[in-house]
Amino acid sequence: MPKATFFNLPNDKRSLIISAAMKEFSNANYDAASINQICKNSNIAKGSFYQYFTDKLDLYVYIMTLAVEEKIKFFSAIISEFHTLTLLEQIRLLFRKGVEFANKHPEYAALGEQFSKEDNELAKLAVTKEGNKQAESLFIQMILNAKTKGEIDSSVDSLALSLLLQSLYGAVNKYIVGKLENASYEYNEEDINSLVDSLLNIIFHGIQNKVD
């Protein structure tokens, strides 16, 4: 956690530092990100930085935690009403909400995309230790729940389906972040949503021709 001095800072100065750090950590991985750059872009001296944070890792964990909290806040509303929905509806909502989140908070989405590629084990561990990793088991819970309700075929391998959904969710995010990086590209949320629908349609109904 940042030191008390950091939280005593005037709001605009503090948020300037945060946004500079977010920008740096979404453009470079942990080791490549530069504290010097963050200082330069937020107009603070190197010495000041170390009055706010104990070290680089301290800042990194703080920034990533902010992103996670924002995402949880964004998703909490829909998760609470999951029990009223079918698995298909749950998954579609999850994916669409993910698209919406990336659209509304591209900085956080870019941060997450960068984190998914992170090499530095220390940095990865520090972040996952801090945040609750409920997300990774969410799919499994949903799948098991749907099985008991008889919504999906019991012969389906739960682990495989979870892996499939996770990798697909990651792919969609990566796709969106890639689009958003191209400022020139005209981004269309509806196009992505119809792609998501196509994907879910495949997963739920399969691709094999039933006529033969």
Partner DNA sequence: TGTGAATATGACCACCTGGTCACATATTAT
Partner DNA sequence: ATAATATGTGACCAGGTGGTCATATTCACA
Q: Does 211 bind a copy of itself (CB under 8 A)?
A: yes
Are the beta carbons of 90 and 82 closer than 8 angstroms? yes
CA atoms of 32 and 16, how far apart (whole Å)? 21
Residue closer to a copy of itself by CB (options 58, 151) is 151
Instruction: Choose the one of a copy of itself, DNA, none that binds residue 181, judging by a C-beta under 5 to 8 angstroms depending on kind.
Output: none
For 120, half-sphere exposure in the C-beta direction (CA atoms, 13 angstrom radius) is: 17
Residue closer to a copy of itself by CB (options 69, 89) is 89
Residues 27-66 as x/- pattern, contact with DNA by CB under 7 A: ------xxxxx------xxxxx-xxx--xxx---------
Query: Could you tell me which residues come within 8 angstroms of residue 170 by beta carbon, excluding any fewer than 6 positions away?
Result: 116
Joined together, the tokens standing for residue 166 give: 């996770």
Residue closer to a copy of itself by CB (options 122, 163) is 163
End-to-end CA distance of the chain: 61
Alpha carbon separation from 148 to 133, 143, 157, 186, 199 (Å, rounded): 24, 9, 14, 43, 24
User: Of 55-114, which residues contact DNA (CB under 7 A)?
Assistant: 55-57
Residue closer to a copy of itself by CB (options 47, 206) is 206
Q: Does 84 bind a copy of itself (CB under 8 A)?
A: no
Total number of residues that touch a copy of itself (CB under 8 A): 40
CA atoms of 18 and 69, how far apart (whole Å)? 15
The secondary structure element, H or E, covering residue 18 is helix 11-27
Instruction: Choose the one of a copy of itself, DNA, none that binds residue 204, judging by a C-beta under 5 to 8 angstroms depending on kind.
Output: a copy of itself
Instruction: Choose the one of a copy of itself, DNA, none that binds residue 207, judging by a C-beta under 5 to 8 angstroms depending on kind.
Output: a copy of itself
Residue closer to DNA by CB (options 34, 201) is 34
Q: Does 122 bind a copy of itself (CB under 8 A)?
A: no
One-letter identity of residue 73: K
Give me the residues that bind DNA (CB under 7 A), please: 4-5, 8-9, 13, 33-37, 44-48, 50-52, 55-57
